[in-house]
Amino acid sequence: GASEAAAEVLLDAVAAHGSGGVKVSGGVRTAEQADAYVALAAARLPEVSPRTFRIGASSLLDALLERGA
């Protein structure tokens, strides 16, 4: 599963290389967890878009729908 520490390393590598992207998957079940990963990406990448950052977590959909996001 995903961890914030692993995501930081991957995001830093993508930022340093200047191409590619990161897909976080497994273990992201709440909107708050997703928000934390998006914040990490925004702090490290010049642009957060589907090309550079994605979250693959099917169980997250229900949480986002409940939140109204």
Which pLDDT tens digit goes with each residue over 4-34? 999 999 999 999 998 899 999 888 988 899 9
Residue 38 lies in domain: 4-67
Domain count, the chain: 1
Q: What are phi and psi of 20, to 5 degrees?
A: 95, -170
- In Å, the largest CA–CA distance within the chain is 37
Q: What are phi and psi of 22, to 5 degrees?
A: -125, 135
pLDDT at 65 over 80: yes
The pTM is what? 0.86
Residue 3: other Cβ atoms inside 10 A = 11
Three-state DSSP state, 39: helix
Q: Name residue 64's amino acid.
A: L
